[in-house]
Amino acid sequence: MRLTCAFALSRFETQCNSNSPRRRGTVAIRAISLGFALAASALSFGQQGTWTAVTAPCPESPETALLLTDGSVLFKSFSNYQHYFKLTPTNTYSYSPGTWSQLASAPNGVLYGPTEVLKDGRVFIAGGEYLTSGQTDHNTAEIYNPVTNTWTTCPDSLYSAIGDTGSSILTDGRVICSNWSNSGTDIYNPTTNTWTAVAPLNTGTGDEASWQILPDSSVLSVYSTAQRYITSLNQWKNTPALPTNLVDSAGEIGPLVYLYNGKAMIFGGCVNNGATALYTPPTTLTGNNDSWALGPVIPGNYGAPDCPACVETNGKVLFVATPTVYGAPYFFEYDPSNGSVTQITGPNTNGTPSYTLRLLALPNGRVLLSGVGTTVWLYTPTGAPQASWRATLSSVVKNSDGSYTLSGTQLNGLTNGASYGDECTPYTNYPIVTLQNTSTGKYYFARSYNFTNMLFATGSATVSTRFTLPAGIPSGTYSVMTSASGVWSSNTLSLSL
């Protein structure tokens, strides 16, 4: 049983969350003790950014946070699985203070499963390790339309249970999912609202696995073994063997992120060895020169079972680790430039278990932390992105339907942003289009959609996105800019309205 006591810390006010969902097939008590804190005190702390709480708490304890394509943040409720909320930033591009609003309730109440922002800007929610009381359909799927604030029920996945399993967006906007009980995988097509069975995994099931799309369009799956799905061949291809065991005794593994140096990093779930691993993709889609290497050891031999990570705009990785499975959370930064891992001071989580936390890359360069009761925190990293990481905008053209097309290079950025692993997919590898009034300095958030593809690190290729203007935007001259996983474009374009 998951015994959850999540503490809200808005102005250091606490609130206990009484939800107690049960682990599938196991009984796992997530304990927290003073001993964990004492063990952490022996670790060194390095230079770090700053934490700020969003001024107003979320109306209910939030679970997963997803970035909508108009710059607002969608939150799934941990208190009621059918409830969703939205945080809208101010016209000074601040999420604190921001405005909270409750959205339409979902037809299904699901907790922990595939979550994807689609190519058209809608949101795909599926599976559910846990369901609202009375529901039994663990292969359910539904789509939220942020324009109409409505939900559409999708056909069920072809397999029995797709909650708490590996999943990923594909370059063309379809979603590939795995399931608990066997090696089968299937793809959901949001255009045709259909599922198609595809090649099964070479080994194992998708249960608890961490997945991620790579710049070559393949999908990397990591658990006790690692393999890549090559869409054009409908084939899973084994990678070389992992350099060490990364799965803990409870069957958990950590988050999988893509770094600015072109490597993927997986954080191990083992709380007794602190292991991580770095993956170098092959130079061609079907090549055999990919490789794994041991990554840095997390200080204290902490592990990251069911913990979040997020690539910061300075290239470092902010992540959570714990000295025991489902234990107290501690915050760290990994610096790929020198291979170091340094503990940093986190916000006062006051005993919140590590598995409740989620991270999300915001378009203004901050990292959002949710899962601490009803309080949402913002982390401002030190440093700045390298110039080569930024998008370059080339043109903005008005379309006959009143929308606009923005073109340039690297609009989707060079990383997928944040990761949790099997229980949500908080990717942000799509452009957020922002207009700044050149007279008043105020920001207005467009809604982007119809991206050329869902890949990141697209190099010198010209890519584009459509966007629509926000309602009520005043006439005037605007600087058009984009952000992907928090990194601003290198230039702006002028647009007169």
- Distance, in Å, from the CA atom of 298 to the CA atom of 319, rounded to the nearest integer, reads 10
Instruction: Say if strands 175-178 and 167-169 run parallel, antiparallel, or are unpaired.
Output: antiparallel
Identify the segments of the chain with pLDDT beneath 70.
1-46
- At position 265, the amino acid (one-letter code) is M
Which DSSP letter does residue 412 get?
T
Q: What local confidence, expressed as pLDDT, does residue 14 receive?
A: 25
Write down the CATH number for the domain with range 10-380. 2.130.10.80
Question: What are the start and end residues of each CATH 2.130.10.80 domain in the chain?
Answer: 10-380
Q: What local confidence, expressed as pLDDT, does residue 25 receive?
A: 37
The model's pTM: 0.91
Q: What local confidence, expressed as pLDDT, does residue 20 receive?
A: 33
- Distance, in Å, from the CA atom of 143 to the CA atom of 160, rounded to the nearest integer, reads 19
Q: In what order do the strands lie in the sheet with 194-198?
A: 167-169, 175-178, 185-189, 194-198
* Long-range contacts of 492-496, Cβ-Cβ distance < 8 Å, separation of 24 or more: 492/393, 492/436, 493/393, 493/395, 493/396, 493/406, 494/438, 495/396, 495/404, 495/435
Cα 348 to chain center, whole Å?
A: 22
Question: What are the start and end residues of each CATH 2.60.40 domain in the chain?
Answer: 389-496
* Long-range contacts of 88-94, Cβ-Cβ distance < 8 Å, separation of 24 or more: 89/364, 89/443, 89/445, 91/442, 91/443, 91/444, 92/442, 92/443, 93/364, 93/434, 93/443, 94/364
Q: What local confidence, expressed as pLDDT, does residue 2 receive?
A: 31
389-496, which class in CATH?
mainly beta
Instruction: Tell which phi-psi region holds residue 289, choosing left (phi > 0), alpha (psi between -120 and 50) or beta.
Output: alpha
Which DSSP letter does residue 372 get?
E
Tokens standing for residue 7: 């503490």
Could you tell me the sign of the dihedral formed by the alpha carbons of 464, 153, 235, 269, in that order?
positive
